[in-house]
Amino acid sequence: MAALIDAATFLADLDHLRTIGTYKTGVHRPTYSADDMRARHWLCERLLALGYQAEIDGIGNVFGWCPGPGPKLLVGSHIESQNYAGWLDGALGVVAGVALARAGLAVDVAAWADEEGHYLGFPGSRSFIGQLDEAEIDAAEGRYSGKKLREALAEAGLAGRPRLTCPEGRHIGFLEMHIEQGGTLDRAGEQIGVVTGIVAIWQYKLHVTGQQNHAGTTTMAERRDAGAAAVRLIAAIEREYPKICGPRSVWTVGRITLDPGAASIIPGGAEILFQHRDVEMDVLERMQAGLERLVAEEHARGPCDIRLEVVTRATPALCDPAMMAALDRAAEQVAPGKWRRMPSGAGHDAQYLAQKMPAAMLFVPSIGGISHHWSEDTRREDLVAGCEVLARAAQDLLANRGGWSSTHG
Protein backbone atom coordinates (compact mmCIF):
# COMPACT_ATOMS: atom_id res chain seq x y z
CA MET A 1 0.00 0.00 0.00
CA ALA A 2 1.35 3.40 -0.97
CA ALA A 3 2.29 5.82 1.80
CA LEU A 4 -0.22 8.52 2.66
CA ILE A 5 2.23 11.02 4.10
CA ASP A 6 5.10 12.91 2.51
CA ALA A 7 7.79 11.58 4.84
CA ALA A 8 10.57 13.87 3.60
CA THR A 9 8.55 17.04 4.18
CA PHE A 10 7.29 15.79 7.54
CA LEU A 11 10.87 15.26 8.73
CA ALA A 12 12.00 18.57 7.24
CA ASP A 13 9.28 20.39 9.19
CA LEU A 14 10.37 18.68 12.40
CA ASP A 15 14.00 19.59 11.70
CA HIS A 16 13.09 23.22 11.03
CA LEU A 17 11.03 23.52 14.20
CA ARG A 18 13.96 22.37 16.32
CA THR A 19 15.98 25.35 15.04
CA ILE A 20 13.57 27.66 16.89
CA GLY A 21 14.96 27.87 20.41
CA THR A 22 17.76 25.34 19.88
CA TYR A 23 19.56 24.19 23.02
CA LYS A 24 22.30 21.59 22.40
CA THR A 25 20.42 18.80 20.55
CA GLY A 26 17.10 19.83 22.08
CA VAL A 27 15.14 23.06 22.47
CA HIS A 28 14.30 25.68 25.05
CA ARG A 29 10.86 27.15 24.21
CA PRO A 30 9.08 28.10 27.42
CA THR A 31 5.43 29.05 26.99
CA TYR A 32 4.85 32.58 25.62
CA SER A 33 8.59 33.22 25.24
CA ALA A 34 9.80 34.88 22.05
CA ASP A 35 10.87 31.51 20.61
CA ASP A 36 7.58 29.87 21.55
CA MET A 37 5.68 32.61 19.74
CA ARG A 38 8.02 32.34 16.74
CA ALA A 39 7.17 28.63 16.58
CA ARG A 40 3.43 29.37 16.75
CA HIS A 41 3.63 31.91 13.95
CA TRP A 42 5.74 29.49 11.86
CA LEU A 43 3.01 26.89 12.33
CA CYS A 44 0.39 29.35 11.13
CA GLU A 45 2.45 30.01 8.00
CA ARG A 46 2.72 26.27 7.26
CA LEU A 47 -1.04 25.86 7.62
CA LEU A 48 -1.85 28.91 5.49
CA ALA A 49 0.37 27.48 2.75
CA LEU A 50 -1.89 24.40 2.71
CA GLY A 51 -4.98 26.49 2.14
CA TYR A 52 -6.09 26.37 5.76
CA GLN A 53 -7.42 29.23 7.84
CA ALA A 54 -4.94 29.65 10.71
CA GLU A 55 -5.15 31.69 13.90
CA ILE A 56 -3.78 32.06 17.42
CA ASP A 57 -6.37 32.62 20.12
CA GLY A 58 -6.25 34.54 23.38
CA ILE A 59 -4.62 31.78 25.45
CA GLY A 60 -2.05 30.99 22.73
CA ASN A 61 -3.69 27.98 21.07
CA VAL A 62 -2.92 27.68 17.36
CA PHE A 63 -5.74 26.38 15.15
CA GLY A 64 -5.62 25.35 11.54
CA TRP A 65 -9.17 24.99 10.23
CA CYS A 66 -9.65 22.60 7.33
CA PRO A 67 -11.74 24.04 4.46
CA GLY A 68 -14.55 22.14 2.83
CA PRO A 69 -17.75 20.46 3.99
CA GLY A 70 -18.28 17.60 6.39
CA PRO A 71 -17.09 16.67 9.88
CA LYS A 72 -13.40 16.73 10.72
CA LEU A 73 -10.90 14.97 12.94
CA LEU A 74 -8.99 17.19 15.34
CA VAL A 75 -5.26 16.37 15.44
CA GLY A 76 -2.46 17.96 17.44
CA SER A 77 -0.47 18.33 20.62
CA HIS A 78 1.61 21.17 22.10
CA ILE A 79 4.52 23.17 20.74
CA GLU A 80 6.24 24.75 23.77
CA SER A 81 8.90 22.78 25.64
CA GLN A 82 10.09 22.12 29.13
CA ASN A 83 13.16 24.16 30.04
CA TYR A 84 16.28 23.00 28.14
CA ALA A 85 14.50 19.86 27.05
CA GLY A 86 13.71 17.65 24.06
CA TRP A 87 12.86 18.59 20.48
CA LEU A 88 10.03 16.07 19.96
CA ASP A 89 7.88 16.26 23.09
CA GLY A 90 4.62 17.76 21.85
CA ALA A 91 6.06 19.22 18.67
CA LEU A 92 5.91 15.77 17.04
CA GLY A 93 2.12 15.60 17.35
CA VAL A 94 1.65 19.08 15.94
CA VAL A 95 3.88 18.51 12.91
CA ALA A 96 2.18 15.13 12.37
CA GLY A 97 -1.10 17.03 12.16
CA VAL A 98 0.37 19.24 9.46
CA ALA A 99 1.52 16.11 7.60
CA LEU A 100 -2.02 14.72 7.67
CA ALA A 101 -3.39 18.01 6.38
CA ARG A 102 -0.82 17.95 3.57
CA ALA A 103 -1.98 14.43 2.70
CA GLY A 104 -5.47 15.79 2.03
CA LEU A 105 -7.16 14.34 5.09
CA ALA A 106 -10.03 16.27 6.64
CA VAL A 107 -8.26 17.26 9.83
CA ASP A 108 -8.18 20.41 11.88
CA VAL A 109 -4.75 20.97 13.44
CA ALA A 110 -4.22 22.30 16.98
CA ALA A 111 -1.19 23.31 19.02
CA TRP A 112 -2.40 23.66 22.60
CA ALA A 113 -0.86 26.29 24.86
CA ASP A 114 1.22 25.51 27.94
CA GLU A 115 0.71 21.77 28.23
CA GLU A 116 4.05 21.83 30.04
CA GLY A 117 2.59 23.94 32.83
CA HIS A 118 4.90 26.94 32.89
CA TYR A 119 1.91 28.96 34.13
CA LEU A 120 -1.08 26.63 34.50
CA GLY A 121 -1.89 22.98 33.99
CA PHE A 122 -3.19 22.41 30.45
CA PRO A 123 -4.74 25.88 30.01
CA GLY A 124 -4.96 25.58 26.21
CA SER A 125 -6.96 22.38 26.00
CA ARG A 126 -8.99 23.29 29.10
CA SER A 127 -9.87 26.65 27.55
CA PHE A 128 -11.02 24.92 24.36
CA ILE A 129 -13.47 22.69 26.25
CA GLY A 130 -14.71 25.55 28.46
CA GLN A 131 -12.93 24.66 31.71
CA LEU A 132 -10.73 27.74 32.15
CA ASP A 133 -12.20 30.92 33.62
CA GLU A 134 -10.85 34.46 33.64
CA ALA A 135 -10.26 34.43 37.40
CA GLU A 136 -7.83 31.52 37.06
CA ILE A 137 -5.94 33.39 34.35
CA ASP A 138 -5.86 36.52 36.53
CA ALA A 139 -4.37 34.58 39.45
CA ALA A 140 -1.78 32.57 37.52
CA GLU A 141 1.92 33.36 37.47
CA GLY A 142 5.02 31.75 36.05
CA ARG A 143 6.29 28.68 37.88
CA TYR A 144 9.90 29.77 37.34
CA SER A 145 9.69 33.50 36.53
CA GLY A 146 6.93 34.66 38.89
CA LYS A 147 5.58 36.74 36.00
CA LYS A 148 1.82 37.16 35.92
CA LEU A 149 0.13 35.21 33.16
CA ARG A 150 -1.73 38.33 32.03
CA GLU A 151 1.60 40.10 31.61
CA ALA A 152 3.04 37.19 29.62
CA LEU A 153 -0.01 37.13 27.33
CA ALA A 154 0.33 40.86 26.70
CA GLU A 155 4.05 40.57 25.92
CA ALA A 156 3.24 37.73 23.50
CA GLY A 157 0.75 39.95 21.65
CA LEU A 158 -2.27 37.92 22.80
CA ALA A 159 -4.01 40.38 25.13
CA GLY A 160 -7.57 41.09 24.05
CA ARG A 161 -7.83 38.16 21.66
CA PRO A 162 -10.82 35.87 22.17
CA ARG A 163 -10.32 32.36 23.51
CA LEU A 164 -11.85 29.88 21.07
CA THR A 165 -14.02 27.00 22.24
CA CYS A 166 -14.90 23.73 20.58
CA PRO A 167 -17.39 24.15 17.71
CA GLU A 168 -20.39 21.93 18.38
CA GLY A 169 -20.72 19.01 15.97
CA ARG A 170 -17.56 19.75 13.97
CA HIS A 171 -15.24 16.99 15.22
CA ILE A 172 -15.69 13.23 15.22
CA GLY A 173 -12.72 12.84 17.56
CA PHE A 174 -9.22 13.90 18.61
CA LEU A 175 -5.95 12.12 17.76
CA GLU A 176 -2.61 12.91 19.41
CA MET A 177 0.74 11.46 18.40
CA HIS A 178 3.55 11.67 20.97
CA ILE A 179 6.84 10.16 21.96
CA GLU A 180 6.42 7.53 24.66
CA GLN A 181 8.68 9.36 27.19
CA GLY A 182 9.52 5.97 28.67
CA GLY A 183 11.53 2.96 27.60
CA THR A 184 8.94 0.22 27.03
CA LEU A 185 8.82 0.38 23.23
CA ASP A 186 12.53 1.00 22.83
CA ARG A 187 13.51 -1.97 25.02
CA ALA A 188 11.12 -4.24 23.11
CA GLY A 189 12.33 -3.11 19.68
CA GLU A 190 8.78 -2.01 18.80
CA GLN A 191 7.70 0.99 16.76
CA ILE A 192 4.16 1.83 17.82
CA GLY A 193 2.19 2.07 21.06
CA VAL A 194 -1.59 2.36 20.86
CA VAL A 195 -2.54 4.14 24.07
CA THR A 196 -5.34 2.59 26.11
CA GLY A 197 -5.72 5.38 28.63
CA ILE A 198 -4.00 8.35 30.23
CA VAL A 199 -3.15 8.16 33.89
CA ALA A 200 -4.59 10.46 36.49
CA ILE A 201 -2.09 12.35 38.63
CA TRP A 202 -3.06 12.75 42.29
CA GLN A 203 -0.88 15.33 44.03
CA TYR A 204 -0.43 16.04 47.72
CA LYS A 205 1.43 18.24 50.18
CA LEU A 206 2.59 16.58 53.38
CA HIS A 207 3.06 19.16 56.14
CA VAL A 208 5.30 18.30 59.10
CA THR A 209 5.39 20.60 62.14
CA GLY A 210 8.04 20.20 64.81
CA GLN A 211 10.03 22.66 66.92
CA GLN A 212 12.87 24.78 65.57
CA ASN A 213 15.79 24.70 67.98
CA HIS A 214 19.57 24.81 68.38
CA ALA A 215 21.34 21.88 66.69
CA GLY A 216 24.12 21.75 69.27
CA THR A 217 22.40 22.23 72.60
CA THR A 218 19.14 20.33 72.11
CA THR A 219 19.47 16.70 73.17
CA MET A 220 18.21 13.98 70.87
CA ALA A 221 15.53 13.02 73.40
CA GLU A 222 14.17 16.60 73.43
CA ARG A 223 14.05 17.11 69.70
CA ARG A 224 10.94 17.55 67.54
CA ASP A 225 12.86 17.38 64.27
CA ALA A 226 10.54 17.95 61.30
CA GLY A 227 13.24 16.91 58.85
CA ALA A 228 13.77 13.55 60.51
CA ALA A 229 10.00 12.97 60.67
CA ALA A 230 9.71 13.75 56.95
CA VAL A 231 12.42 11.21 56.15
CA ARG A 232 10.67 8.54 58.24
CA LEU A 233 7.38 9.19 56.44
CA ILE A 234 9.01 8.93 53.02
CA ALA A 235 10.70 5.68 54.03
CA ALA A 236 7.33 4.31 55.15
CA ILE A 237 5.76 5.23 51.80
CA GLU A 238 8.57 3.51 49.89
CA ARG A 239 8.16 0.42 52.07
CA GLU A 240 4.36 0.17 51.94
CA TYR A 241 3.33 1.43 48.49
CA PRO A 242 4.64 -1.66 46.61
CA LYS A 243 2.13 -3.71 48.65
CA ILE A 244 -0.91 -1.68 47.56
CA CYS A 245 -0.10 -0.32 44.10
CA GLY A 246 -1.12 -1.59 40.66
CA PRO A 247 1.22 -3.12 38.04
CA ARG A 248 1.83 0.26 36.34
CA SER A 249 1.53 2.58 39.34
CA VAL A 250 4.24 5.13 39.99
CA TRP A 251 4.84 7.59 42.81
CA THR A 252 7.29 10.43 43.32
CA VAL A 253 8.59 12.68 46.07
CA GLY A 254 9.18 15.76 43.95
CA ARG A 255 10.42 18.22 46.57
CA ILE A 256 11.34 18.34 50.26
CA THR A 257 11.53 21.78 51.85
CA LEU A 258 12.92 22.28 55.36
CA ASP A 259 12.28 25.37 57.45
CA PRO A 260 14.52 27.24 58.02
CA GLY A 261 16.95 25.01 56.13
CA ALA A 262 20.16 25.93 57.98
CA ALA A 263 23.00 23.60 58.98
CA SER A 264 22.93 24.38 62.69
CA ILE A 265 19.17 24.66 63.22
CA ILE A 266 16.82 21.76 63.88
CA PRO A 267 14.04 22.13 61.27
CA GLY A 268 10.78 23.27 62.78
CA GLY A 269 8.83 22.54 59.64
CA ALA A 270 8.99 20.38 56.52
CA GLU A 271 6.88 20.19 53.39
CA ILE A 272 6.87 17.24 51.00
CA LEU A 273 5.42 17.45 47.48
CA PHE A 274 4.20 13.99 46.60
CA GLN A 275 2.22 12.43 43.75
CA HIS A 276 1.05 9.03 42.58
CA ARG A 277 -0.28 8.02 39.17
CA ASP A 278 -2.36 5.21 37.75
CA VAL A 279 -4.97 4.63 35.07
CA GLU A 280 -7.41 2.79 37.40
CA MET A 281 -9.59 4.73 39.83
CA ASP A 282 -9.75 1.89 42.35
CA VAL A 283 -5.94 1.72 42.47
CA LEU A 284 -5.70 5.49 42.96
CA GLU A 285 -8.24 5.33 45.77
CA ARG A 286 -6.39 2.43 47.40
CA MET A 287 -3.09 4.32 47.23
CA GLN A 288 -4.63 7.42 48.76
CA ALA A 289 -6.13 5.35 51.57
CA GLY A 290 -2.68 3.87 52.18
CA LEU A 291 -1.11 7.34 52.24
CA GLU A 292 -3.72 8.56 54.72
CA ARG A 293 -3.00 5.57 56.96
CA LEU A 294 0.76 6.15 56.88
CA VAL A 295 0.34 9.84 57.70
CA ALA A 296 -1.96 8.99 60.62
CA GLU A 297 0.48 6.41 61.96
CA GLU A 298 3.48 8.74 61.77
CA HIS A 299 1.45 11.55 63.34
CA ALA A 300 0.39 9.28 66.20
CA ARG A 301 3.97 8.09 66.70
CA GLY A 302 5.17 11.69 67.12
CA PRO A 303 6.93 13.77 68.19
CA CYS A 304 5.91 15.92 65.19
CA ASP A 305 2.48 16.79 63.86
CA ILE A 306 1.87 15.60 60.28
CA ARG A 307 -0.98 16.74 58.05
CA LEU A 308 -1.99 15.59 54.54
CA GLU A 309 -3.28 18.16 52.03
CA VAL A 310 -4.86 16.98 48.78
CA VAL A 311 -3.77 19.30 45.95
CA THR A 312 -5.29 17.69 42.84
CA ARG A 313 -7.22 14.50 42.06
CA ALA A 314 -7.70 14.09 38.33
CA THR A 315 -9.76 11.40 36.62
CA PRO A 316 -8.07 8.85 34.32
CA ALA A 317 -9.00 9.27 30.66
CA LEU A 318 -9.70 6.06 28.77
CA CYS A 319 -9.17 6.15 25.01
CA ASP A 320 -12.09 5.60 22.63
CA PRO A 321 -12.41 1.91 21.63
CA ALA A 322 -13.27 2.57 17.97
CA MET A 323 -10.36 4.98 17.59
CA MET A 324 -7.99 2.51 19.24
CA ALA A 325 -9.21 -0.20 16.86
CA ALA A 326 -8.44 2.05 13.88
CA LEU A 327 -4.95 2.66 15.26
CA ASP A 328 -4.53 -1.11 15.81
CA ARG A 329 -5.38 -1.84 12.18
CA ALA A 330 -3.05 0.85 10.89
CA ALA A 331 -0.22 -0.27 13.19
CA GLU A 332 -0.47 -3.84 11.93
CA GLN A 333 -0.30 -2.58 8.33
CA VAL A 334 2.72 -0.32 8.90
CA ALA A 335 4.61 -2.18 11.65
CA PRO A 336 3.31 -5.78 11.70
CA GLY A 337 4.19 -7.49 14.96
CA LYS A 338 6.06 -4.41 16.23
CA TRP A 339 3.34 -2.61 18.12
CA ARG A 340 1.42 -2.99 21.35
CA ARG A 341 -1.38 -1.47 23.39
CA MET A 342 -0.15 0.39 26.47
CA PRO A 343 -1.22 3.06 28.97
CA SER A 344 0.29 6.53 29.10
CA GLY A 345 2.18 7.26 32.29
CA ALA A 346 2.30 10.99 31.53
CA GLY A 347 -0.48 13.53 31.28
CA HIS A 348 -1.47 14.87 27.86
CA ASP A 349 -3.95 17.31 26.35
CA ALA A 350 -5.90 14.31 25.03
CA GLN A 351 -7.17 13.62 28.55
CA TYR A 352 -9.06 16.93 28.46
CA LEU A 353 -10.26 16.61 24.86
CA ALA A 354 -11.64 13.18 25.87
CA GLN A 355 -14.17 15.01 28.05
CA LYS A 356 -15.62 16.65 24.93
CA MET A 357 -15.19 14.08 22.14
CA PRO A 358 -13.79 10.60 21.46
CA ALA A 359 -10.00 10.70 21.80
CA ALA A 360 -7.03 8.40 21.28
CA MET A 361 -3.25 8.56 21.33
CA LEU A 362 -0.35 6.97 19.48
CA PHE A 363 3.20 6.57 20.86
CA VAL A 364 6.52 6.14 19.09
CA PRO A 365 9.68 5.02 20.98
CA SER A 366 11.92 7.31 22.99
CA ILE A 367 15.54 6.18 22.61
CA GLY A 368 16.71 5.01 26.02
CA GLY A 369 13.40 6.12 27.50
CA ILE A 370 14.73 9.68 27.82
CA SER A 371 12.42 12.72 27.77
CA HIS A 372 12.28 16.18 29.38
CA HIS A 373 16.01 16.41 28.61
CA TRP A 374 17.86 17.88 25.64
CA SER A 375 19.18 14.42 24.65
CA GLU A 376 15.63 13.14 23.97
CA ASP A 377 15.44 11.51 20.53
CA THR A 378 13.56 9.01 18.33
CA ARG A 379 14.79 7.14 15.26
CA ARG A 380 13.65 8.78 12.06
CA GLU A 381 12.15 5.57 10.71
CA ASP A 382 10.01 5.35 13.86
CA LEU A 383 8.86 8.96 13.44
CA VAL A 384 7.78 8.22 9.88
CA ALA A 385 6.10 4.94 10.83
CA GLY A 386 4.15 6.65 13.59
CA CYS A 387 2.94 9.43 11.32
CA GLU A 388 1.90 6.91 8.65
CA VAL A 389 -0.07 4.92 11.25
CA LEU A 390 -1.76 8.14 12.37
CA ALA A 391 -2.67 9.03 8.79
CA ARG A 392 -4.10 5.60 7.97
CA ALA A 393 -6.13 5.54 11.16
CA ALA A 394 -7.44 9.02 10.39
CA GLN A 395 -8.40 7.95 6.87
CA ASP A 396 -10.18 4.91 8.31
CA LEU A 397 -12.09 6.94 10.89
CA LEU A 398 -13.12 9.62 8.40
CA ALA A 399 -14.36 7.04 5.93
CA ASN A 400 -16.36 5.10 8.49
CA ARG A 401 -17.66 7.77 10.83
CA GLY A 402 -19.21 10.31 8.48
CA GLY A 403 -16.16 12.31 7.44
CA TRP A 404 -14.38 12.62 4.15
CA SER A 405 -10.74 12.09 3.20
CA SER A 406 -10.37 13.26 -0.35
CA THR A 407 -8.11 16.18 -1.22
CA HIS A 408 -9.57 19.41 0.09
CA GLY A 409 -9.40 22.63 -1.84
Predicted confidence (pLDDT) per residue in 53-106, tens digit: 999 999 999 999 999 998 999 999 999 999 999 999 999 999 999 999 999 999
Domain with CATH 3.40.630.10 in the chain: 7-199+316-400
User: How many other C-beta atoms can be found within 10 angstroms of the C-beta atom of residue 259?
Assistant: 17
Question: Do residues 47 and 146 touch, judged by C-beta distance below 8 A?
Answer: no
Tens-place pLDDT, residues 108-138 = 999 999 999 999 989 999 999 999 999 999 9
Q: What is the pTM of this model?
A: 0.87
Q: How far lies 228's CA from each of 232, 257, 322, in Å?
A: 6, 12, 52
Q: Reply yes or no on whether the pLDDT at 141 is more than 70.
A: yes
pLDDT computed for residue 347 by the predictor: 85
* Fold annotation for 200-313: Alpha-Beta Plaits (3.30.70)
Mean pLDDT computed over 193-200: 94
Domain with CATH 3.30.70.360 in the chain: 200-313
pLDDT computed for residue 186 by the predictor: 98
Compute the mean pLDDT over every residue in the chain, rounded to the nearest whole number.
95
What CATH number does domain 7-199+316-400 carry, 3.40.50.10800, 3.30.465.10, 3.40.630.10, 3.30.70.920? 3.40.630.10
Confidence of residue 300 (pLDDT cuts 50, 70, 90): very high
Q: Reply yes or no on whether the pLDDT at 357 is more than 70.
A: yes
pLDDT computed for residue 345 by the predictor: 85
Tens-place pLDDT, residues 232-273 = 999 999 999 999 999 989 999 999 999 999 999 999 999 999
**Nearest CA among 95, 180, 88, 89 for reference residue 366:** 180
User: Percent of the chain beyond pLDDT 90?
Assistant: 93
**Residue burial 269-308, b: 16+ Cβ < 10 Å; e: rest:** bbbbebebbbbbeebbebbbebbeebbeebbeeeebebeb
